[in-house]
Amino acid sequence: MPLPPDTAAALASVSTDEPWSLIERFTTLKREHPADVATAADEIVARLTRLGVPVDVHRPTLFLSLPGAASVRVGAQTFRAKPMAMSVAHPDGVTAPLAYVPARYARNADEMFTKGFVSDTEVDLQGKIVVSEGFGMPGKVAYFEQRGAIGMIAVNPGHNPHWGICTTVWGTPDLRDLPRKPKMAVVAVNNPDGLALIDVAKAGGSVTLTSEVTEGWWESPIPVVTIPGSEEPEAFVLLHGHYDSWDYGIGDNAVGDGRCSRWHASCGSTAPRSSGRCVSPGGRATPRDATPAAPGSPTPSPWSCTNTASPRSTATRRAAAGPRSTRTSRGWTRRRRSASRSSAT
């Protein structure tokens, strides 16, 4: 079956030149803290403007958690570490006995974001710092906190510790959610250092955990591109991807951002039956309910990465960003939350 002329023309115009150029540029940008995110947003807006794509920029104030330096000290030996966003800061250090709870590395996303395969071995964690394999993810952190731990050291795979977010609260904590915000320090170490710390725990040793985390409210630009539909323009298809990232490199959704930029340019010359809105939130290291709604439109969730369109509806395309906090189309869809101020991440 032959394609409609407008569809064929749009497909014929597709090129990887512009997306790849954005990816190369993003490899040089850190895109973590508010100033980093503003630079990345300016880059996105400038490229869309050059391509003739109209773009609106929302500037909400978001609650962000920005990890800094961290370390774990055992006697005269100090291990490098990375604190998790939304964890409790201990800039002067906290010293406590170290307890080891075995765990298996996550095999999929479900295991990563829940308690995962953590041993139920009866280890007394009250007032202790727990060391365990894996990442300092929300479900695992909440589990150890409930058992009385005052800190967690996540033993990451490989030779480098990883950044991450450890709260079970998605969005800015409200009065209902605030009690679930982590109340303990959480850091990550690499695998060789983690194995050494596990030996310390098995020998009944103690450690001093030091971490720096800054929390507060910052303005974060969110570029939004809307392609009006020819029918029922009040409905829309949402395409979303955050443009924030941990550290340098393209691992955190730079590829998805490039794809969004190409889609903007290809679809901008046609009038789809569905409207398209692409939203790009900024401000990393926080839970991600930071996308503002366009005037008169339903509020989409930053986690709505799947294209959910009603037939003949307006396609709203959304490109989202967050410091470190990065992601490609994962297909995770959350029910939107009504909040005038929410966090990106």
186: Cβ contacts below 8 Å, ≥ 6 apart:
83, 84, 87, 88, 136, 141, 151, 152, 154, 166, 211
* Shared domain check, 84 and 38: no
Question: Which CATH number does the domain housing residue 137 bear?
Answer: 3.50.30.30
Domain assignment present for 342: no
What is the mean pLDDT of the segment spanning 89-118?
83
* Shared domain check, 210 and 72: yes
Domain assignment present for 154: yes
Domain assignment present for 126: yes
* Shared domain check, 209 and 86: yes
* Shared domain check, 155 and 266: no
Domain's final residue, options 191, 214, 237? 214
Domain assignment present for 341: no
Highest mean pLDDT of the ranges 4-13, 30-39, 226-235: 30-39
Query: Which residue, 106, 78, 68, 76, is CA-closest to 185?
Result: 68
**Interior angle at CA 345, CA 62 and CA 65, nearest 5:** 65
* Shared domain check, 186 and 143: yes
Instruction: Please count the CA atoms within 13 angstroms of the CA of 73 that sit on its side-chain side.
Output: 11
Q: Is the pLDDT of residue 175 over 90?
A: no
Highest mean pLDDT of the ranges 6-10, 213-217, 298-302: 213-217
User: What pLDDT score was predicted for residue 266?
Assistant: 58
Query: Distance between alpha carbon 258 and the CA centroid of its chain, in Å?
Result: 17
* Shared domain check, 122 and 143: yes
Question: Which tokens in the block code for residue 232?
Answer: 């029922």
* Shared domain check, 183 and 88: yes
Domain assignment present for 331: no
Beta strands in the chain (DSSP E): 56-58, 61-74, 77-83, 90-100, 129-133, 151-155, 185-189, 206-219, 222-227, 236-240, 275-279, 316-318
> Contact 116/133 with Cβ under 8 angstroms?
no
What is the mean pLDDT of the segment spanning 264-290?
53
Per-residue pLDDT of 303-331, as tens digits, reads 222 222 222 333 333 333 333 332 222 32
> Contact 187/69 with Cβ under 8 angstroms?
no
The proportion of the chain whose per-residue pLDDT surpasses 70, expressed as a percent, equals: 70
* Shared domain check, 138 and 247: no
User: What pLDDT score was predicted for residue 205?
Assistant: 98
Domain assignment present for 337: no
- Rounded to whole angstroms, the Cα distance separating 189 from 230 reads 53
Query: Which residue, 10, 14, 7, is CA-closest to 262?
Result: 14
Residue 245 binned pLDDT confidence (cut-offs 50, 70, 90): confident
**Cα dihedral 68, 73, 77, 82 sign:** negative
* Shared domain check, 83 and 42: no
Domain assignment present for 25: yes
User: What pLDDT score was predicted for residue 113?
Assistant: 67
| In the block, residue with structure tokens 């906290």 | 94
* Shared domain check, 78 and 169: yes
Highest mean pLDDT of the ranges 102-106, 151-155, 250-254, 309-313: 151-155
210: Cβ contacts below 8 Å, ≥ 6 apart:
69, 70, 71, 72, 73, 90, 91, 92, 93, 94
Domain assignment present for 130: yes
Question: Which CATH number does the domain housing residue 305 bear?
Answer: 3.40.630.10
Highest mean pLDDT of the ranges 114-118, 148-152, 159-163, 302-306: 148-152
* Shared domain check, 297 and 201: no
- Rounded to whole angstroms, the Cα distance separating 28 from 323 reads 14
- Rounded to whole angstroms, the Cα distance separating 79 from 98 reads 14
Q: Work out whether strand 275-279 and strand 206-219 pair parallel, antiparallel, or are unpaired.
A: unpaired
**Cα dihedral 193, 195, 201, 202 sign:** negative
What is the mean pLDDT of the segment spanning 181-188?
96
User: What pLDDT score was predicted for residue 263?
Assistant: 63
Residue 92 binned pLDDT confidence (cut-offs 50, 70, 90): very high
**What's 150's DSSP letter?**
S
Per-residue pLDDT of 30-44, as tens digits, reads 888 899 999 999 999
Range of the domain at 137: 67-214
Domain's final residue, options 163, 194, 214? 214
* Shared domain check, 264 and 172: no
3-state class percentages of the chain: helix first, strand second, coil last, to nearest 5: 25, 25, 50
Q: How many domains does the chain have?
A: 2
Domain's final residue, options 214, 241, 267? 214
